[in-house]
Amino acid sequence: MNTQALLQETPETETVSERDMANAIRALVMDSVQKANSGHPGMPMGMADVATVLFNRFIKLDPLHPQWPDRDRFVLSAGHGSMLQYALHYLIGYPDMPIEELQRFRQLGAKTAGHPEYGHAQGIEMTTGPLGQGIATAVGMALAERLLVQRFGEDIVDHHTYVIAGDGCLQEGISHEAIDLAGHLRLSKLIVFWDNNSISIDGPTSLSTSMDQLMRFEAAGFDVQEIDGHDHEEIADAIARARSSDRPSLISCRTIIGKGAPNLQGTEKTHGAPLGDSEIAAVRQAIDWPHRPFEVPEEIIETWRDVARRGADERREWCVRMGASPHGDDLRQAVQKQLPASLFEELGAFRREHVEKATKVATRKASEMVLGVINNATDLTIGGSADLTHSNLTVTPGMRDVTPQSFSGRYIHYGIREHGMAAAMNGLALHGGFIPYGGTFLAFADYARGAMRLSALMGQQVIYVMTHDSIGLGEDGPTHQPIEHLAMLRATPGINVFRPADIIETAECWELALKYADRPSVIVLSRQNLAMLRHAHTEENRSSRGAYVLRETAEPRAITLMATGSEVEIACTAADMLRGQYKIPAAVVSMPSWELFEAQTPAYRRSVLAAAPRIGIEAASRLGWDRWIGEKGAFIGMQGFGASAPAPDLYRHFNITPENIVATARKLIN
């Protein structure tokens, strides 16, 4: 789009001014919040002018084709201002956002949730609310655009990512990780509007910060500007300049929170509560808005709908370019995330080969080998690590780095930024065109929690490669040894947590992570070598059932040993000892994924669990295991934090040994 041309469409020549358009937002916002008797009017009223200029003069989207791959991405990082987004959607004319939806703001089943929820209404590019997630996810979206431009050409990929962020977003640590990465990669089509209203929930932001944000963003490599966020020409000029910069942009918009509310504006009182009937009446006076609640004059609506008309034109032009482009089909396939069928055949062959070889490697190494197959077969995967590449083993031969100078690579050095990495991966997935995976140590899932939860809530296919998954990592000690992390992840709805026991299960779990396109997967991997436990190749992906009998007994089971990951090998040794030394028929169940096991039929679950007493074995917290071991069972695992020592010493120290399993089994049976 030609920025100069847009600027020449001076809105003053219309009968409806941008002031009227912004006031329509203000009125819809305050009335919706009042009707819900809940919500945040302050931010949308304060940012109504910025949003109006952005949408009226610049943004590229087509409400009738909300999934148009080359649309601009608009991210409301300050998600509590959700009514700004809903009002815009109504005014522009998204078919799924009639006025009735605004009237149902924050009610059960409405598209107009308290914070923007991905999947509720078209055009909501992501779920926001936890502060800072929007700006950090937008970095991934902007990165996706750069990568796709490189692959398919600027004629069919050429859009901006716009973010509205509040003081909260900029105070959260994740914003630092995000802007450092964006500045480093020179993501020039990322444009962040900071709603610089000097107010947070507790009161003036001077209560808690003295940060010079412009200097801070400049330090990160951003182009920075500061404007009056209520001056439409300043806003337009700033956006035009930001669009022409070769760096990401921060536009500090000095605004008045709750702008338009004569008695409350500029105070935290407008932030998170309805204005109240009398103040709303005062607003109507102050902004000269005589219309009834939820009524917007037709000419104002019509003017707003021009945004959609412009977008529809732009999309039509894009379709023409797509037809002419040699890469049009490639872009379409990428957006549909079509994996080649041959990939799954190759993964099957990989399993067969390694069963036969009885390959003994750490599962992190197994993961690297599987990734080699995957990355050869498809370009959809885009890898990376939070500065632990050669520990997580996330890079495969031939993968080139993404650098500020070139986006032709597909490996991202995310830096020591687990949270930023997770959010950027969400952005890559949401944008479309990629299946992102990224590595860190499992213990540092802690740092990425905020964004991992959003992967799950938004149902995004993001694959977390989390190595060094227990005390088995050894000497680095308790800070690096996960204890509660499996429970934390398993308790989170909508995540597949995989903890494979050997190279075969690792291949199976990767296959499943690729197949479950509607959710994130966490693949939890060992640092230490693990034996190959499968005796024969099966066509079936046995991990797909979540848990299965790895070692069945000839006679009726006297005991069932259930374990995951590196502890399955220990359980197998214990079962051999029980059989060999005590003639006790002990079965071993491997449980690579609790979620998938939970999803099986009760009959299948019963067949696996069986009636004999059960021992759960996992070098982690017990929490959750009682579901499987039942009242007669026992758990062998961690009771507290780990320690620093060589791994074999730690397993002995914490009594996670075949000998302890044998002794426990014998006690349970007698």
Q: Is 639 near its own copies (CB under 8 A)?
A: yes
Smallest distance, its own copies to C-beta of residue 463, A: 19
472 is in an annotated binding site: no
Within positions 184 to 203, which residues make up the interface with its own copies, using CB under 8 A?
A: 184, 200-202
543 is in an annotated binding site: no
Shortest approach of its own copies to residue 516 CB, angstroms? Answer: 16
Residue 324 and residue 156: Cα distance in Å, rounded? 10
* The binder of its own copies chosen from 63, 140, 248, 420 (CB under 8 A): 420
Beta carbon of residue 131, minimum distance to its own copies (angstroms, whole number): 6
When computed from its CA atoms, the radius of gyration of the chain, rounded to whole angstroms, is 28
Report 102-141 residues binding its own copies (CB under 8 A): 106-110, 113-115, 117, 127-131
**CA distances, 123 to each of 77, 90, 207, 306, 424 (Å):** 14, 11, 36, 17, 19
Helix (H) or strand (E) holding 199: strand 199-200
Judged by CB under 8 A, which of 66, 153, 173, 409 binds its own copies? 173
Closer CB to its own copies, residue 473 or residue 514?
473
Is residue 342 annotated as involved in ligand binding? no
Active site residue 234: no
Both structure tokens of 649: 């010493």
240 or 416: whose CB is closer to its own copies? 416
Helices (H), 378-502: 389-392, 418-431, 445-458, 485-491
Residue pair 388/413 in contact (Cβ under 8 Å)? The answer is: no
Question: Do 583 and 553 contact (CB within 8 A), yes or no?
Answer: no
Q: Which is nearer to its own copies, 70 or 172 (CB)?
A: 172
Is 80 annotated as belonging to a binding site? yes
Location of structure tokens 């709603």: 195
Q: Assess 398 for contact with its own copies (CB under 8 A).
A: no
Regarding 299 and contact with its own copies (CB under 8 A), the answer is no
Distance (Å) of CA 139 to CA 204, 250, 305, 595: 28, 13, 29, 31
Chain residues 364-393 in contact with its own copies, contact rule CB under 8 A: 385, 387-391
DSSP letters spanning 472-496: GG-TT-TTTS-SSHHHHHHHSTT-E
Q: In angstroms, give the least distance from the CB of 235 to its own copies.
A: 24
Using CB under 8 A as the binding rule, whether residue 534 contacts its own copies is answered as no
Tell me if 276 is assigned to a ligand binding site. Answer: no
| 443 is a contact residue toward its own copies (CB under 8 A) | yes
Q: How many residues does the structure list for the chain? A: 670
Options 299-307, 532-540, 556-564, 627-635: segment touching its own copies (CB under 8 A): 627-635
350 is in an annotated binding site: no
The pairing of strands 521-524 and 529-530 is unpaired
Q: Which is nearer to its own copies, 187 or 514 (CB)?
A: 187
DSSP letter, residue 155? T
Is the Cβ of residue 119 or residue 262 nearer to its own copies in the bound state? 119
Q: How far is the CB of 619 from its own copies (least distance, A)?
A: 13
Q: Indicate if the alpha-carbon torsion angle 306, 310, 315, 316 is positive or negative.
A: positive
Is there a contact between 492 and 453 (Cβ–Cβ < 8 Å)?
A: yes
Does residue 406 interact with its own copies by CB under 8 A? no
Closest distance of CB 155 from its own copies, Å: 29
For CA atoms 317, 322, 326, 330, give the dihedral sign.
positive
Query: By CB under 8 A, is residue 417 in contact with its own copies?
Result: yes
CB of 429 to its own copies, least distance (A): 18
Question: According to DSSP H, which parts of 552-610 are helical?
Answer: 566-582, 594-598, 602-609
Among 56, 85, 175, 303, binds its own copies (CB under 8 A): 175
Among 243, 644, 655, 669, binds its own copies (CB under 8 A): 644
Q: In the bound complex, what is the minimum distance in angstroms from residue 279's beta carbon to its own copies?
A: 19
Subset of residues 39 to 68 that bind its own copies, contact rule: CB under 8 A: 39
Q: How far apart are CA 555 and CA 586, in angstroms?
A: 9
Please say which residue, 13 or 210, places its beta carbon nearer to its own copies. Answer: 210
Exactly one of 487, 507, 584, 615 binds its own copies (CB under 8 A); that residue is 487
Q: Which burial class, exposed, middle or buried, applies to 582 when counting CB atoms under 10 A from its CB (0-12, 13-18, 19+)?
A: middle
- Tell me: does residue 276 bind its own copies (CB under 8 A): no
Number of residues engaging its own copies in binding (CB under 8 A): 108
Cα 137-140-141 angle, rounded to 5 deg: 90
Q: How far is the CB of 236 from its own copies (least distance, A)?
A: 28
Q: Which parts of 209-228 interact with its own copies (CB under 8 A)?
A: 209-216, 218-221
Alpha-carbon gap, residue 463 to 520, rounded angstroms: 6
Q: Which of 326, 580, 602, 640 binds its own copies (CB under 8 A)?
A: 640
Nearer to its own copies, 131 or 369 (CB): 131
Residue 564: strand, helix, or coil? coil
Cβ at position 118, least distance to its own copies in Å: 10
In the sheet that 190-196 helps form, which strands lie side by side, from edge to edge? 73-76, 161-165, 190-196, 249-254, 223-228
Identify which of residues 177 and 505 has a Cβ nearer to its own copies in the complex.
177
Site for its own copies, residues 8 to 37, rule: CB under 8 A: 36
Q: Which of 163, 488, 512, 665 binds its own copies (CB under 8 A)?
A: 488
8 Å CB contact between 187 and 143: yes
Among the listed residues 577, 502, 583, 573, the one whose alpha carbon sits nearest the alpha carbon of residue 543: 502
Q: Which of 14, 237, 346, 476 binds its own copies (CB under 8 A)?
A: 476
Exactly one of 418, 508, 567, 618 is catalytic; name it.
418
SS3 194: strand
Q: Is 405 in the site for its own copies (CB under 8 A)?
A: no
Burial class (CB in 10 A: 0-12, 13-18, 19+), 321: middle
Q: Which of 348, 372, 432, 624 binds its own copies (CB under 8 A)?
A: 624
Part of the chain binding its own copies (CB under 8 A), chosen from 15-23, 44-52, 429-437, 484-492? 484-492
One symbol per residue from 578 to 617: x for binding its own copies (CB under 8 A), - otherwise; what is it?
----------------------------------------
260 assigned binding-site residue: no
CB of 515 to its own copies, least distance (A): 21
468 assigned ligand-binding residue: yes
Binding of residue 462 to its own copies (CB under 8 A) = no
55 token code pair? 């949408």
Buried b (16+ CB within 10 A) or exposed e, 273-293: bbbeeebbebbbebbebeeee
> Which residues make beta-bridge pairs with 73?
161
Say which residues have a Cβ less than 8 Å from residue 398's Cβ, sequence separation at least 6: 375, 376
- Residues that constitute the known binding site: 40, 80, 129-131, 167-168, 197, 199, 271, 364, 391, 444, 468, 476, 480, 527
- Residues that constitute the known binding site for Mg(2+): 167, 197, 199
- Residues that constitute the known binding site for substrate: 40, 271, 364, 391, 468, 476, 480, 527
Which residues are known catalytic residues?
418
